[in-house]
Chain A
Amino acid sequence: MTDLSNLSNSVSIRDLSLSFGAVTVLENLNLDIKDGEFLVLLGSSGCGKSTLLNCIAGLLEPTEGQIFIKDRNVTWEEPKDRGIGMVFQSYALYPQMTVEKNLSFGLQVAGLPKDEIAKRIARASNILQIEPLLKRKPAALSGGQRQRVAIGRALVRDVDVFLFDEPLSNLDAKLRSELRVEIKRLHQSLKNTMIYVTHDQIEALTLADRIAIMKSGVIQQLDDPITIYNRPRNKFVAGFIGSPSMNFLTGELAEEGGRPVFRTNGVSFSLDGYEASEALSPGRKVVLGVRPEHIKVDGDLGSEEAHDAIVDIEEPMGADNLIWLKLAGHTISVRIGGARRYAVGSKVRLGFDMTMASLFDAQTEERI
């Protein structure tokens, strides 16, 4: 029963289901993670992403399905035998042990010789630059240092797969971005497979080779960050990724002069340039999604069809300026350069970049 497609996959998940009593958390989930890949599981809380990670780690027993790590069926294996290291959101350092003991605990339990343990601790603490902290207890460390030690604990185990469960969520914004870069650097130098759970889309977009966006236990889209960002497969993904979030206009398809248009509240928008995966049949109820940075105003306008709009609110954010425009009964956010300012109530010409827009069926919310 060896599935040949498993080869060169580091982690494979086959038909995985998990339910607690009547509550189904994961349903029939399939996922292949390639050797050395950085995969991010992204979703809001309660979507099952941490549950999936715990299943891979062996901390939760699946109700159905199989898990392969390095082509070995580990479904029934103990966590320690799976060749994984895990980093937790709350660091989970043993409070009564020094940093050094924290790092060596797992190796001692495994019965490794002393000099080997010392060698591995030296290597890990060198990589993570935690040598000065080795004799300290976790309580005497800052949040960033603690998380570094927690990563070190996974590192010394010399494993194939690293699992990260929201490792940066407890840190403040500045430390978070610093450690994010460090994790990325770590991945580039170690080239291990890493599975990373987060609800932070910036972490997902910056770190991932591929992102799996999850919602109620089902993977909505599994793609590289650029594809996820530019060609979301459904309305949920489109709305979840991107900040400020995508503008959604509900309306219907129509035809004007033999070309498909999107019509909402009596205003028509030409769909020239949109790459549809199916025929744009007139009369179909749809949702048009356009990101704030894919809308052009005034001087930026090129070949796009332009419409008149009124400035409702302005939100200067330093590098960018977000303006909210009223058009055909909708409020649309547009991202422009930080130096460009608009007075509230002034008139603006605006056009959608249809090559970057997304059309979703109003019923199924799937991309057209």
Chain B
Amino acid sequence: MANVSTLNATGASMDAVKTELASGPRGKRPKRVMSGRNIMIYGILGLAALYYLLPLYVMVVTSLKGMPEVRLGNIFSPPMEITFEPWVKAWSQACTGLNCDGLSRGFWNSVRILVPSVVVSIAVASVSGYALANWRFKGSELFFAVLIVGAFIPYQVMIYPIVIILREIGIYGSLTGLVIVHTIFGMPILTLLFRNYFAGLPEELFKAARIDGAGFWQIYGRIMLPMSLPIFVVAIIIQVTGIWNDFLFGVVFTRPDTYPMTIQLNNIVNSVQGVKEYNVNMAATLLTGAVPLFVYFVSGRLFVRGIAAGAVKG
């Protein structure tokens, strides 16, 4: 309104207009910290954080209490006497079925499943994504489409046929079988991920490398790989969390002595005989969830750094 009136000012008040122009707003517009918008945003974020952190808090405090204290039922109160007994028990003494060596057995089983599954699936998917993006062959688009359809078929549909296949080739129940299953089921989404990433890299880089005489593997290893740290981190996050948290394949394709950690956790928590040791259950659950959490915290940083590095035009 003030502006409109100054614009309408006649010649007599020109001097007033001039001073108003000079003293008007200049530079950066000040931002209010306590604006309604900010209160809204931070309020909602805070509530959401509280909602998700509360169960975690309950788990942590319960796992640090002794059973007598747990029985008091004050689940939100901090432990009066901190004890790490439940953690030790969950890791090395809790019984599942016949074994009473705790979650440690399942942890090492899970590691032995996780490492080869992640490495093999990412290695295969990155090469096939690279081939699909840069070395188009006849029918490559169709091949890719078929692969993507695989991502939409529910796993449960394929379990029985896979059990029979693994039995016939004699690796049913072994960790090898489970690793193969994890690798294959990781293919569609990982290949899609890598293909799209490589397709997004400048095509001229690939052309330049071909003019320079580099072949399929040299271009992959020396040009493409060093440029794709961010996507590898994304793939690792997807695979580690997916495979570590897997329950269905683990329970179907392994035997009790090769059960991964998630199955063991279930067996500890859901065991019916004796007292329900909530503190041990909480400790066991936190132990099982530690690996994906660790991966998020470590690679999340790497991930951001990778994105930032990729943003510099090369």
Q: Which residues on A are within 8 Å of B, measured CB to CB?
A: 54, 57-59, 78-80, 84-86, 88-96, 105-106, 109-110, 137-139, 153, 157
Other than the given A90-B202, A106-B214, 15 more pairs (CB < 8 A) read A58-B210, A79-B213, A86-B211, A91-B204, A92-B208, A94-B209, A96-B226, A106-B213, A109-B212, A110-B213, A137-B314, A139-B312, A139-B314, A153-B212, A157-B212
Counting CB contacts under 8 A, is B313 at the interface?
yes
List of B residues within 8 angstroms of A84 by Cβ = 211
User: Measured between C-beta atoms, what is the minimum distance from A225 to chain B in Å?
Assistant: 28
Q: Which residues on B are within 8 Å of A, measured CB to CB?
A: 202, 204-205, 207-214, 218, 222-223, 226-227, 312-314
Decide: B227 and A96 in contact? CB cutoff 8 A.
Answer: yes
List of A residues within 8 angstroms of B218 by Cβ = 109
Decide: A92 and B213 in contact? CB cutoff 8 A.
Answer: no
Can you list 30 A-B pairs, Cβ within 8 angstroms, ordered by A? A59-B210, A59-B211, A79-B210, A84-B211, A86-B211, A88-B208, A90-B204, A92-B202, A92-B204, A92-B205, A92-B207, A92-B208, A93-B208, A93-B314, A94-B205, A94-B208, A94-B209, A94-B314, A96-B227, A96-B314, A105-B222, A106-B213, A109-B212, A109-B218, A137-B314, A138-B314, A139-B312, A139-B313, A153-B208, A157-B212
A79-B204 contact given A95-B314, A105-B222, A109-B218, CB 8 Å threshold: no
Measured between alpha carbons, how far is A89 from B314 in the docked complex, in Å? Answer: 13
Decide: A94 and B223 in contact? CB cutoff 8 A.
Answer: yes
A57-B211 contact given A94-B205, A94-B223, A109-B218, CB 8 Å threshold: yes
Chain B residue nearest to A88 (CB atoms) is: B204
List of B residues within 8 angstroms of A109 by Cβ = 212-214, 218
Chain A residue nearest to B210 (CB atoms) is: A79
Decide: B314 and A59 in contact? CB cutoff 8 A.
Answer: no
Decide: B314 and A80 in contact? CB cutoff 8 A.
Answer: no
Measured between alpha carbons, how far is A93 from B210 in the docked complex, in Å? Answer: 13
Measured between alpha carbons, how far is A105 from B222 in the docked complex, in Å? Answer: 9
List of A residues within 8 angstroms of B205 by Cβ = 92, 94
User: Measured between C-beta atoms, what is the minimum distance from B305 to chain A in Å?
Assistant: 15
List of A residues within 8 angstroms of B207 by Cβ = 54, 57, 59, 86, 88, 92
User: Measured between C-beta atoms, what is the minimum distance from A93 to chain B in Å?
Assistant: 7
Measured between alpha carbons, how far is A96 from B310 in the docked complex, in Å? Answer: 10
List of B residues within 8 angstroms of A93 by Cβ = 208, 314
Complex partner residue of A85 from B202, B204, B211, B313, CB under 8 angstroms = B211
Decide: B212 and A105 in contact? CB cutoff 8 A.
Answer: yes
Measured between alpha carbons, how far is A54 from B207 in the docked complex, in Å? Answer: 9
Measured between alpha carbons, how far is A287 from B210 in the docked complex, in Å? Answer: 48
Chain A residue nearest to B212 (CB atoms) is: A106
User: Measured between C-beta atoms, what is the minimum distance from B128 to chain A in Å?
Assistant: 22
Decide: B213 and A80 in contact? CB cutoff 8 A.
Answer: yes
Give the top 9 A-B pairs by smallest Cβ distance, nearest first.
Answer: A95-B314, A106-B212, A80-B213, A92-B204, A92-B208, A96-B226, A88-B204, A109-B213, A139-B312
Measured between alpha carbons, how far is A346 from B208 in the docked complex, in Å? Answer: 58
Measured between alpha carbons, how far is A79 from B312 in the docked complex, in Å? Answer: 29
User: Measured between C-beta atoms, what is the minimum distance from B221 to chain A in Å?
Assistant: 11
List of A residues within 8 angstroms of B210 by Cβ = 58-59, 78-80
User: Measured between C-beta atoms, what is the minimum distance from B291 to chain A in Å?
Assistant: 31
List of B residues within 8 angstroms of A90 by Cβ = 202, 204
Decide: B211 and A80 in contact? CB cutoff 8 A.
Answer: yes
Measured between alpha carbons, how far is A86 from B205 in the docked complex, in Å? Answer: 11
User: Measured between C-beta atoms, what is the minimum distance from A19 to chain B in Å?
Assistant: 15
Centre residue among B218, B227, B313 by max chain A CB count within 10 A? B313
List of B residues within 8 angstroms of A59 by Cβ = 207, 210-211
User: Measured between C-beta atoms, what is the minimum distance from A76 to chain B in Å?
Assistant: 15
List of B residues within 8 angstroms of A94 by Cβ = 205, 208-209, 222-223, 314
